[in-house]
Chain A
Amino acid sequence: MKTIPTLREKKRYLAFEVMSEKTLNRQELVKEILNSMISIYGDKGANEINPSLMSFDGKYGILRCEREKRVETRASMACINNIHGVRVSILVLGISGTIKGATEKFIQQTLINRQEPRKK
């Protein structure tokens, strides 16, 4: 059964890009993001952020978090520096209220902008 709108959790979707020396898989990334959150905010803070990785294709991905915890999520994603000896940096492209918005507005836009200079 659906929850009533006022009791529904308010969420935001972060579109991000991963730059790494080797391609990562989904499991490694999820583990590292959670580890980073727990290391900074503790178990209580990580549970309040309520993160979950919606999709990840090796370079671009979408992460769900609580609406009021956007800054915390950004901070813990920025603090990831290496995963099993592979140097990594995560760049948040933008934040949206829907998965569709995050995909169309940020990820597809980035891909289009990247291709344009090559055509010229």
Chain B
Amino acid sequence: MSLFGSKFYDFYTHPDDVGLMATEGKRYGYSGITVIGNCANEKTLFPEDFSIHRGIEIQAKPSRIREEIKKYRGCDHILIINGGEEEINRAAVETEGVDILMHPLEFNNVLAKAASDNSVSIGFNLGSLIRLKGVARVRELKTMRINLKHAQKYKLQLILTSDAHSIYDLRAPREMVAISSLFGMTEKEAVDALSVTPLNILRKKSPDYIQEGIEII
């Protein structure tokens, strides 16, 4: 079980109480979370060795998305786009600077190729699998299976997130790996999606990073 020795990150959470979420996250075995929306004030106590990053979720009309991305891509927040129709996915994938495209519907090989050119990671939202039941979950699994197929073909970076609104939505890394096996992800891919891809994104956001392949050491 040496696969589980690395650091794990959850990159898509909307907690009401960031302090509580951080304490629980640390107990579950995470090294950091990304908070979307209101971040904590300075009074909140955070556990040691636990990093909290800020993320921005862009929601706009398909025609406005490119401008929104350009507005935010200079800052050190993590840029997340909630995928949906093809137009939104296309705008997200073809513009440089986007980090994660969450749960795209109608994903195809053209979009996958563009994503691999601009190094955009594809996010799988396991929170929906936990919350939904019956036919809705079947539909969700089908979308994920298609996305995974394209991602494997073009060697895209995958990322697994929990979309937790409270501590009851959070799941430990091993549980996340087990859930991801429902739509055909292998154990190695799932562990990489929880540790290697987030670390890559954080490396890109660090001030020492200049361009792909150029870095201040």
Contacts and interface: CB of A to CB of B under 8 A. Distances in A.
Given A39-B133, A78-B175, A81-B130, A71 B168 contact: no
Contact of B182 (A19, A20, A40, A87): A40
- Interface band, chain B: 20 to 34
Contacts of B176: 78
A3 to B, nearest CB: 30
Contacts of B130: 78-79, 81
B166 A78 contact: no
Contacts, number: 48
B178 A74 contact: yes
Interface residues of A, number: 18
B131 interface: yes
A54 interface: no
Given A39-B133, A91-B28, A78 B178 contact: yes
Given A39-B133, A81-B131, A89 B179 contact: no
A74 B180 CA distance: 11
A91 B129 CA distance: 17
A47 B176 CA distance: 23
A89 B171 CA distance: 8
Interface in A70-99: 71-72, 74-75, 77-79, 81, 87-89, 91-92
Contact of B167 (A19, A40, A92): A19
Given A71-B181, A75-B181, A92 B175 contact: yes
Contacts of B179: 75, 78-79
A40 B28 CA distance: 24
10 contacts: A20-B168, A21-B168, A39-B133, A39-B134, A72-B178, A74-B174, A74-B178, A75-B182, A78-B176, A81-B130
Interface of B: 28, 129-131, 133-134, 166-172, 174-179, 181-182
